[in-house]
Amino acid sequence: MRCWQGTPTLMMGAHRHDEIELNLVLGGSLDYLIAGEHLHVPDETLLMFWAARPHQLIGVDESVRVHWLTVPIDTFLSWGLPAELRAGLIGGVPHALPVPGPTQGYGRQWAQWESDLMTGEHELQVTVLLEMEARVRRLAYGGRATPAREAAAPDLTSDGDAPHEGPSATTRLIAMAGFISRHFSEPIAVADVAAAAHVHPHHAMTLFRQASGMTIGTFVTQCRIAEAQRLLVATDLPVANIAHAAGFGSLARFYQAFGAVCGQPPGAYRRRLRS
C-alpha cells in the first residue's frame, strides 16, 4: 500500500505492479498508455485501473497535481465495490470517477494518508485503509464510474506544432503497443509489430525500447502474464488452459515467466486472491 503526490514527469517508462492504482487528478489532465490503449484523464477525476498491465504516462499538463494511491489487489477485492466496477477492473478496463466539488478536501485527505503511511505505524495504516475504502466506496456508489476509454483523447500524431513532420515517437509507440495488446495471445513477430507503426523492424525495436523503457518481447510477456492473472482471478479454468489462452507456447515457459514476474506459482496466486 503506497500513497504519494506531486506533479508527474514523463521520465518513467512502461512498468507494472500487482495492485489497483488510483490517480486523483486535479488542476490539469494526464495522458496514459495502459496495455496499449491511449487514455486521456481530465481534471477532477479519479482514475482506477489494475496495474498488472504495462502502463506509462505519455502526456502531462504543467499545471496538473496528482495524488497516487496503490492498494494490494486482494485488499481491493475485499472492499465490496459495485460488481460491475470490480469486474471491469479485473477485466483490465480502467474506470474514471468524477470527483464532486469542492475538490480541495480530497487533496488534503490524500496528503494526510501519505503522511500517515510514512510513519510505518500499524494502527495508522489500518485507519488509512478504512478511510480509503470509505472514500472510494462513496465515489463509486455516488456517481457512475465510466470506462476511461470513453474520454476523448487529444491528437498526438506529430511532435511539436508542425503536423507535416509526421507521426511522433509517442504515436508510433501507441500503434505498436496497441497491436501487441490485441494480439499478445497469438505468435507475434517483431515485423508484425513494426508494420503496425509503418517502420522498419530494426527501428521498431529501438524506438519501442527508447519510448517505453522495455523491449518488445518484455512487453508481450507482461501482457500475457496480466491476462493469466485475470483468468486466474475471474475464471475456474485449469492452469494449463490459462497458459494457452494467455499465449504461452508451453506450460513450463508459463510457470517460469509467471514465477519471475509474480513471485509465486499460478496456483498459489489464485488461492491467495480467493482466500
The pLDDT of residue 162: 38
> What cell does 141 get?
456508489
CA atoms within 13 A on the CB side of 191: 0
At residue 10, does pLDDT exceed 70?
Answer: no
Q: How far apart are CA 215 and CA 190, in angstroms?
A: 10
> What cell does 85 get?
466496477
Give 182's pLDDT tier (boundaries 50, 70, 90): very high
- Annotate 36-48 with DSSP letters as a single string: TEEEEE-SSEEEE
Strands laid side by side in the 95-98 sheet: 2-6, 65-72, 19-26, 45-50, 95-98, 146-147
> What cell does 34 get?
495502459
Please answer whether residues 14 and 54 qualify as being in contact, where contact means their C-beta atoms are separated by less than 8 angstroms: yes
Judging by beta carbons within 10 Å of its beta carbon (0-12, 13-18, 19+), is residue 155 exposed, middle or buried?
A: exposed
Residues 21 and 136 in one domain: yes
Residues 126 and 188 in one domain: no
Q: Which of 86, 68, 91, 73 is nearest to 2 (CA)?
A: 68
At residue 269, does pLDDT exceed 50?
Answer: yes
The residue range of the domain holding 235 is 163-274
At residue 161, does pLDDT exceed 90?
Answer: no
Q: Does the residue 87 lie in any domain?
A: yes
At residue 154, does pLDDT exceed 60?
Answer: no
**What phi and psi values does residue 101 have, to the nearest 5 degrees?**
-80, 165
Number of other residues whose CB lies within 10 A of the CB of residue 153: 16
Q: Which of 117, 20, 106, 118 is nearest to 71 (CA)?
A: 20
How many independent structural domains does the chain possess?
Answer: 2
The 3-state DSSP class for residue 198 equals: coil
Q: 3 has which bridge partners?
A: 69
- Per the model's pLDDT, the better-predicted residue between 92 and 199 turns out to be 199
Residues 173 and 254 in one domain: yes
pLDDT in tens, 219-259: 999 999 999 999 999 999 999 999 999 999 999 999 999 99
Residues 21 and 82 in one domain: yes
Q: Does the residue 170 lie in any domain?
A: yes
Q: Does the residue 158 lie in any domain?
A: no
Q: Does the residue 20 lie in any domain?
A: yes
Using the 3D structure, point to which of 150, 174, 198 is the last residue of a domain.
150
Taking the CA atoms of residue 91, residue 94, residue 95 and residue 99 in that order, the dihedral angle to the nearest 10 degrees is 150
Q: Check which CATH number belongs to the domain holding 213 and give it.
A: 1.10.10.60
Q: Does the residue 155 lie in any domain?
A: no
Residues 12 and 146 in one domain: yes
Residues 139 and 49 in one domain: yes
24-28, 103-107, 114-118, 143-147: range with lowest mean pLDDT: 143-147
Q: Does the residue 156 lie in any domain?
A: no
Residues 183 and 84 in one domain: no
Q: Check which CATH number belongs to the domain holding 102 and give it.
A: 2.60.120.280
Angle at 233 between CA 231 and CA 235, to 5 degrees: 55
Residues 191 and 143 in one domain: no
Identify the top-confidence range among 4-13, 24-33, 193-202.
193-202
